[in-house]
Protein backbone atom coordinates (compact mmCIF):
# COMPACT_ATOMS: atom_id res chain seq x y z
CA UNK A 1 0.00 0.00 0.00
CA UNK A 2 2.73 2.43 1.10
CA UNK A 3 4.76 1.28 -1.89
CA UNK A 4 1.84 1.97 -4.25
CA UNK A 5 1.31 5.41 -2.72
CA UNK A 6 5.03 6.13 -3.19
CA UNK A 7 4.88 4.94 -6.78
CA UNK A 8 1.80 7.03 -7.49
CA UNK A 9 3.38 10.13 -5.97
CA UNK A 10 6.55 9.50 -7.94
CA UNK A 11 4.69 9.01 -11.22
CA UNK A 12 2.59 12.08 -10.50
CA UNK A 13 5.73 14.19 -10.03
CA UNK A 14 7.19 12.80 -13.27
CA UNK A 15 3.97 13.60 -15.12
CA UNK A 16 3.98 17.14 -13.74
CA UNK A 17 7.60 17.61 -14.78
CA UNK A 18 6.92 16.42 -18.32
CA UNK A 19 3.76 18.55 -18.49
CA UNK A 20 5.80 21.58 -17.45
CA UNK A 21 8.38 20.82 -20.16
CA UNK A 22 5.87 20.93 -23.04
CA UNK A 23 2.54 22.74 -23.35
CA UNK A 24 -0.58 20.55 -23.44
CA UNK A 25 -1.58 19.51 -26.95
CA UNK A 26 -4.15 21.73 -28.67
CA UNK A 27 -7.01 19.25 -29.13
CA UNK A 28 -10.39 20.54 -30.31
CA UNK A 29 -13.66 18.69 -30.65
CA UNK A 30 -15.04 18.98 -34.20
CA UNK A 31 -18.29 17.01 -34.46
CA UNK A 32 -19.68 13.65 -33.38
CA UNK A 33 -16.82 11.55 -32.05
CA UNK A 34 -14.14 13.32 -34.10
CA UNK A 35 -11.52 15.70 -32.66
CA UNK A 36 -8.48 17.38 -34.17
CA UNK A 37 -5.02 17.98 -32.76
CA UNK A 38 -3.66 21.28 -34.09
CA UNK A 39 -0.22 19.71 -34.18
CA UNK A 40 3.32 21.05 -34.41
CA UNK A 41 3.91 19.47 -37.86
CA UNK A 42 0.36 18.87 -39.11
CA UNK A 43 -3.24 18.60 -37.98
CA UNK A 44 -4.16 15.10 -36.75
CA UNK A 45 -7.75 13.85 -36.68
CA UNK A 46 -8.62 11.53 -33.82
CA UNK A 47 -11.58 9.13 -33.67
CA UNK A 48 -11.68 7.22 -30.38
CA UNK A 49 -13.47 3.89 -29.95
CA UNK A 50 -13.53 1.14 -27.34
CA UNK A 51 -11.63 -1.12 -29.72
CA UNK A 52 -8.86 1.43 -30.30
CA UNK A 53 -8.51 4.90 -31.77
CA UNK A 54 -8.13 5.85 -35.42
CA UNK A 55 -5.92 8.79 -36.32
CA UNK A 56 -5.38 10.54 -39.66
CA UNK A 57 -1.66 11.36 -40.04
CA UNK A 58 0.87 10.95 -37.22
CA UNK A 59 3.21 13.95 -37.67
CA UNK A 60 7.00 13.79 -37.51
CA UNK A 61 8.70 11.18 -35.39
CA UNK A 62 9.88 13.96 -33.04
CA UNK A 63 6.24 14.99 -32.45
CA UNK A 64 5.31 11.54 -31.10
CA UNK A 65 4.91 12.70 -27.46
CA UNK A 66 2.50 15.42 -28.59
CA UNK A 67 0.50 13.01 -30.78
CA UNK A 68 0.27 10.42 -27.98
CA UNK A 69 -0.74 13.05 -25.40
CA UNK A 70 -3.48 14.29 -27.75
CA UNK A 71 -4.82 10.76 -28.31
CA UNK A 72 -4.88 10.08 -24.57
CA UNK A 73 -6.95 13.25 -24.02
CA UNK A 74 -9.86 11.83 -26.00
CA UNK A 75 -9.32 8.05 -26.07
CA UNK A 76 -8.93 5.49 -23.28
CA UNK A 77 -7.75 2.93 -25.81
CA UNK A 78 -4.47 3.14 -27.74
CA UNK A 79 -4.20 3.80 -31.49
CA UNK A 80 -5.36 0.87 -33.61
CA UNK A 81 -5.43 2.52 -37.03
CA UNK A 82 -3.20 5.19 -38.57
CA UNK A 83 -4.19 6.60 -41.96
CA UNK A 84 -1.37 8.29 -43.90
CA UNK A 85 -2.92 10.95 -46.16
CA UNK A 86 0.36 10.75 -48.17
CA UNK A 87 4.01 9.80 -47.72
CA UNK A 88 5.61 13.09 -46.52
CA UNK A 89 7.41 12.71 -43.21
CA UNK A 90 5.56 15.54 -41.43
CA UNK A 91 2.50 13.27 -41.84
CA UNK A 92 3.91 9.73 -41.57
CA UNK A 93 6.96 10.08 -39.30
CA UNK A 94 5.21 8.36 -36.38
CA UNK A 95 4.39 5.21 -38.38
CA UNK A 96 7.23 3.10 -36.98
CA UNK A 97 6.26 3.80 -33.37
CA UNK A 98 2.55 3.18 -33.91
CA UNK A 99 3.22 0.01 -35.94
CA UNK A 100 5.50 -1.25 -33.14
CA UNK A 101 2.65 -0.87 -30.67
CA UNK A 102 0.30 -2.88 -32.88
CA UNK A 103 -1.49 -0.32 -35.06
CA UNK A 104 -2.35 -0.94 -38.71
CA UNK A 105 -0.82 1.69 -40.98
CA UNK A 106 -3.29 2.33 -43.80
CA UNK A 107 -2.38 4.14 -47.01
CA UNK A 108 -2.94 4.32 -50.73
CA UNK A 109 -0.59 1.90 -52.50
CA UNK A 110 1.71 4.63 -53.89
CA UNK A 111 2.61 5.67 -50.33
CA UNK A 112 4.20 2.25 -49.78
CA UNK A 113 6.01 2.48 -53.12
CA UNK A 114 7.54 5.83 -52.16
CA UNK A 115 8.38 4.85 -48.56
CA UNK A 116 10.13 1.70 -49.85
CA UNK A 117 12.79 3.57 -51.85
CA UNK A 118 14.81 6.76 -51.42
CA UNK A 119 12.86 9.83 -52.52
CA UNK A 120 14.19 13.09 -53.97
CA UNK A 121 12.07 16.21 -53.51
CA UNK A 122 13.36 18.56 -56.21
CA UNK A 123 11.57 21.60 -54.74
CA UNK A 124 13.69 21.30 -51.57
CA UNK A 125 16.68 19.45 -53.09
CA UNK A 126 16.11 16.89 -50.35
CA UNK A 127 16.93 13.18 -50.39
CA UNK A 128 14.65 11.22 -48.05
CA UNK A 129 15.75 7.68 -47.24
CA UNK A 130 13.37 4.71 -47.46
CA UNK A 131 11.57 3.69 -44.28
CA UNK A 132 12.68 0.47 -42.62
CA UNK A 133 10.17 -2.29 -43.49
CA UNK A 134 8.66 -2.21 -39.99
CA UNK A 135 7.62 1.45 -40.44
CA UNK A 136 5.94 1.05 -43.82
CA UNK A 137 2.17 0.97 -44.44
CA UNK A 138 0.65 -2.44 -43.71
CA UNK A 139 -2.84 -2.12 -45.15
CA UNK A 140 -3.10 -0.82 -48.69
CA UNK A 141 -5.83 0.22 -51.07
CA UNK A 142 -5.97 1.58 -54.61
CA UNK A 143 -9.05 3.77 -55.00
CA UNK A 144 -11.16 3.43 -51.86
CA UNK A 145 -11.50 1.71 -48.50
CA UNK A 146 -14.31 1.89 -45.94
CA UNK A 147 -13.87 1.16 -42.23
CA UNK A 148 -16.29 0.99 -39.32
CA UNK A 149 -14.77 2.33 -36.10
CA UNK A 150 -17.12 2.47 -33.12
CA UNK A 151 -20.35 3.88 -34.53
CA UNK A 152 -18.56 5.94 -37.19
CA UNK A 153 -18.17 5.07 -40.87
CA UNK A 154 -14.79 6.14 -42.22
CA UNK A 155 -14.48 6.45 -46.01
CA UNK A 156 -11.04 6.71 -47.61
CA UNK A 157 -10.91 8.01 -51.17
CA UNK A 158 -7.78 8.30 -53.30
CA UNK A 159 -7.43 11.44 -55.43
CA UNK A 160 -4.88 11.03 -58.23
CA UNK A 161 -1.80 13.21 -58.82
CA UNK A 162 -2.85 16.10 -56.55
CA UNK A 163 -0.30 17.06 -53.84
CA UNK A 164 1.50 13.75 -54.57
CA UNK A 165 0.48 10.53 -56.38
CA UNK A 166 -0.76 8.90 -53.15
CA UNK A 167 -3.21 11.35 -51.57
CA UNK A 168 -6.22 10.17 -49.60
CA UNK A 169 -9.26 12.16 -48.48
CA UNK A 170 -10.92 10.76 -45.35
CA UNK A 171 -14.61 11.31 -44.73
CA UNK A 172 -16.21 10.68 -41.34
CA UNK A 173 -19.76 10.10 -42.50
CA UNK A 174 -21.67 10.52 -39.23
CA UNK A 175 -19.64 13.48 -37.93
CA UNK A 176 -19.72 15.09 -41.41
CA UNK A 177 -16.00 15.86 -41.35
CA UNK A 178 -13.56 15.49 -44.27
CA UNK A 179 -9.80 15.31 -43.66
CA UNK A 180 -8.05 16.80 -46.69
CA UNK A 181 -4.37 16.04 -46.06
CA UNK A 182 -2.18 18.36 -48.13
CA UNK A 183 -4.70 18.64 -50.97
CA UNK A 184 -5.91 21.67 -48.96
CA UNK A 185 -3.56 24.27 -47.46
CA UNK A 186 -5.79 26.80 -45.72
CA UNK A 187 -4.44 30.39 -45.89
CA UNK A 188 -1.15 29.01 -47.19
CA UNK A 189 -0.01 28.96 -50.84
CA UNK A 190 -0.09 25.21 -51.51
CA UNK A 191 2.96 23.08 -52.05
CA UNK A 192 2.53 20.73 -55.01
CA UNK A 193 5.17 18.01 -54.91
CA UNK A 194 5.93 17.56 -58.63
CA UNK A 195 8.71 15.06 -57.81
CA UNK A 196 6.08 12.83 -56.18
CA UNK A 197 3.57 13.05 -59.03
CA UNK A 198 1.58 16.05 -57.78
CA UNK A 199 -0.04 18.48 -60.25
CA UNK A 200 -2.28 21.56 -60.24
CA UNK A 201 -4.81 19.68 -62.38
CA UNK A 202 -5.02 16.93 -59.74
CA UNK A 203 -5.20 19.45 -56.86
CA UNK A 204 -8.26 21.09 -58.43
CA UNK A 205 -9.88 17.72 -59.17
CA UNK A 206 -9.09 16.57 -55.61
CA UNK A 207 -10.78 19.62 -54.08
CA UNK A 208 -13.79 19.08 -56.34
CA UNK A 209 -13.97 15.44 -55.19
CA UNK A 210 -13.93 16.67 -51.57
CA UNK A 211 -16.75 19.13 -52.28
CA UNK A 212 -18.81 16.26 -53.78
CA UNK A 213 -18.16 14.20 -50.62
CA UNK A 214 -19.74 16.83 -48.38
CA UNK A 215 -22.58 19.31 -48.04
CA UNK A 216 -23.14 22.84 -46.71
CA UNK A 217 -22.41 21.78 -43.13
CA UNK A 218 -19.32 19.64 -43.72
CA UNK A 219 -16.23 20.55 -41.68
CA UNK A 220 -13.14 20.43 -43.91
CA UNK A 221 -9.84 19.90 -42.10
CA UNK A 222 -6.64 20.86 -43.95
CA UNK A 223 -3.42 19.26 -42.76
CA UNK A 224 -1.95 22.76 -42.40
CA UNK A 225 -3.88 25.89 -41.43
CA UNK A 226 -7.19 26.38 -39.64
CA UNK A 227 -10.24 24.11 -39.88
CA UNK A 228 -12.52 25.33 -42.67
CA UNK A 229 -16.08 25.59 -43.89
CA UNK A 230 -17.29 24.52 -47.32
CA UNK A 231 -17.28 28.18 -48.41
CA UNK A 232 -13.56 28.44 -47.57
CA UNK A 233 -12.80 25.28 -49.54
CA UNK A 234 -14.77 26.67 -52.51
CA UNK A 235 -12.73 29.90 -52.31
CA UNK A 236 -9.51 27.83 -52.27
CA UNK A 237 -10.68 25.86 -55.33
CA UNK A 238 -11.48 29.13 -57.11
CA UNK A 239 -8.02 30.50 -56.22
CA UNK A 240 -6.33 27.39 -57.64
CA UNK A 241 -8.40 27.57 -60.84
CA UNK A 242 -7.81 31.32 -61.27
CA UNK A 243 -4.03 31.07 -60.86
CA UNK A 244 -3.96 28.00 -63.12
CA UNK A 245 -5.90 29.93 -65.79
CA UNK A 246 -3.53 32.92 -65.61
CA UNK A 247 -0.43 30.74 -65.85
CA UNK A 248 -1.90 28.79 -68.75
CA UNK A 249 -2.74 32.02 -70.63
CA UNK A 250 0.85 33.25 -70.09
CA UNK A 251 2.18 29.96 -71.42
CA UNK A 252 -0.02 30.19 -74.52
CA UNK A 253 1.56 33.63 -75.04
CA UNK A 254 4.95 31.83 -74.98
CA UNK A 255 6.11 33.39 -71.71
CA UNK A 256 8.98 31.63 -69.96
CA UNK A 257 8.85 30.37 -66.38
CA UNK A 258 10.85 33.40 -65.23
CA UNK A 259 8.43 35.76 -66.98
CA UNK A 260 5.41 33.98 -65.52
CA UNK A 261 6.83 34.16 -61.99
CA UNK A 262 7.70 37.85 -62.52
CA UNK A 263 4.09 38.58 -63.56
CA UNK A 264 2.89 37.40 -60.10
CA UNK A 265 -0.26 35.56 -61.20
CA UNK A 266 -1.18 34.80 -57.56
CA UNK A 267 -0.67 38.34 -56.23
CA UNK A 268 -4.40 38.92 -55.68
CA UNK A 269 -4.40 36.24 -52.97
CA UNK A 270 -1.48 37.44 -50.84
CA UNK A 271 -3.50 38.99 -48.04
CA UNK A 272 -3.53 36.74 -44.99
CA UNK A 273 -1.55 34.07 -46.88
CA UNK A 274 1.55 32.23 -45.76
CA UNK A 275 3.63 29.85 -47.81
CA UNK A 276 5.78 30.26 -50.89
CA UNK A 277 3.94 32.03 -53.69
CA UNK A 278 6.68 31.67 -56.34
CA UNK A 279 7.18 27.97 -55.60
CA UNK A 280 3.43 27.46 -56.03
CA UNK A 281 3.42 29.33 -59.37
CA UNK A 282 6.43 27.33 -60.56
CA UNK A 283 4.62 24.06 -59.77
CA UNK A 284 1.55 25.25 -61.68
CA UNK A 285 3.74 26.15 -64.67
CA UNK A 286 5.56 22.83 -64.50
CA UNK A 287 2.25 20.92 -64.32
CA UNK A 288 1.13 22.51 -67.59
CA UNK A 289 4.56 22.23 -69.20
CA UNK A 290 4.16 18.48 -68.96
CA UNK A 291 0.71 18.13 -70.44
CA UNK A 292 -0.99 18.94 -73.70
CA UNK A 293 -2.05 22.60 -73.44
CA UNK A 294 -5.32 21.74 -75.20
CA UNK A 295 -6.30 19.51 -72.32
CA UNK A 296 -9.13 21.16 -70.36
CA UNK A 297 -9.06 21.49 -66.58
ZN1 LIG B 1 2.78 16.94 -47.89
pLDDT (tens digit per residue) in 157-182: 999 999 999 999 999 999 999 999 99
- pLDDT value, residue 3: 37
- pLDDT value, residue 23: 84
240 vs 295: which has the higher pLDDT: 240
Ligand 1 geometric centre to CA of 190 (Å): 9
CA 23/CA 69 separation, integer angstroms: 10
Ligand 1 geometric centre to CA of 124 (Å): 12
Ligand 1 geometric centre to CA of 3 (Å): 49
If you average pLDDT over residues 232-241, what whole number do you get? 98
Give the helix ranges, DSSP H, for the chain. Answer: 2-21, 64-74, 89-92, 95-100, 109-115, 200-213, 230-252, 257-262, 277-289
CA 287/CA 194 separation, integer angstroms: 8
Ligand 1 geometric centre to CA of 42 (Å): 9
- pLDDT value, residue 21: 64
pLDDT (tens digit per residue) in 254-274: 999 999 999 999 999 999 999
Residue 195 near residue 124, CB atoms below 8 Å: no
Ligand 1 geometric centre to CA of 210 (Å): 17
If you average pLDDT over residues 209-220, what whole number do you get? 98
- pLDDT value, residue 237: 98
Ligand 1 geometric centre to CA of 163 (Å): 7
pLDDT (tens digit per residue) in 112-139: 999 999 999 998 899 999 999 999 999 9
Ligand 1 geometric centre to CA of 149 (Å): 26
Ordered DSSP codes for 178-203: EEEEEEEETTEEPP--GGGT--HHHH
Residue 55 near residue 67, CB atoms below 8 Å: yes
CA atoms within 13 A on the CB side of 10: 6
Q: Find the angle CA(212)-CA(176)-CA(207) to the nearest 5 degrees.
A: 30
pLDDT (tens digit per residue) in 71-113: 999 999 999 999 999 999 999 999 999 999 999 999 999 999 9
Ligand 1 geometric centre to CA of 254 (Å): 31
CA 274/CA 266 separation, integer angstroms: 12
pLDDT (tens digit per residue) in 35-70: 999 999 999 999 999 999 999 999 999 999 999 999
Among residues of the chain, what percentage have pLDDT more than 70?
Answer: 91
- pLDDT value, residue 180: 98
3 vs 93: which has the higher pLDDT: 93
Residue 285 has pLDDT above 80, yes or no: yes
Given pLDDT bands bounded at 50, 70 and 90, which one contains residue 7? Answer: very low
By three-state DSSP, how is residue 119 classified? strand
CA 71/CA 76 separation, integer angstroms: 8
- pLDDT value, residue 238: 98
Ligand 1 geometric centre to CA of 79 (Å): 22
If you average pLDDT over residues 194-200, what whole number do you get? 96
Distances (CA, A) of 127 to 34, 84, 295: 35, 20, 33
Crossing angle, helix 200-213 and helix 230-252, to 10 degrees? 160
Average predicted confidence (pLDDT) for the chain: 92
Given pLDDT bands bounded at 50, 70 and 90, which one contains residue 11? Answer: very low
- pLDDT value, residue 22: 75
Ligand 1 geometric centre to CA of 247 (Å): 23
- pLDDT value, residue 292: 64
Given pLDDT bands bounded at 50, 70 and 90, which one contains residue 297? Answer: very low
Ligand 1 geometric centre to CA of 164 (Å): 8
CA 136/CA 268 separation, integer angstroms: 41
CA 269/CA 232 separation, integer angstroms: 13
- For 138: left if phi > 0, alpha if psi spans -120 to 50, otherwise beta; the answer is alpha
Distances (CA, A) of 2 to 14, 61, 296: 18, 38, 75
Ligand 1 geometric centre to CA of 173 (Å): 24
Ligand 1 geometric centre to CA of 183 (Å): 8
- pLDDT value, residue 149: 97
Ligand 1 geometric centre to CA of 92 (Å): 10
- pLDDT value, residue 291: 83
Residue 186 has pLDDT above 80, yes or no: yes
Amino acid sequence: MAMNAFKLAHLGAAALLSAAASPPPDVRHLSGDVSVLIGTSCNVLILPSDGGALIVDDQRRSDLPETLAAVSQVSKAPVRYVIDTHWHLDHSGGNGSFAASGASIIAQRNVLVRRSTEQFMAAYKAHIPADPPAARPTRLFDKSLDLTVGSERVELRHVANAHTDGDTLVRFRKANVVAMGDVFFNHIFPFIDRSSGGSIQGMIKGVEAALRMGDERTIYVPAHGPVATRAELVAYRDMLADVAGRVKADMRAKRTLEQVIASHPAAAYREGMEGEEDRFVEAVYDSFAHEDLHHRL
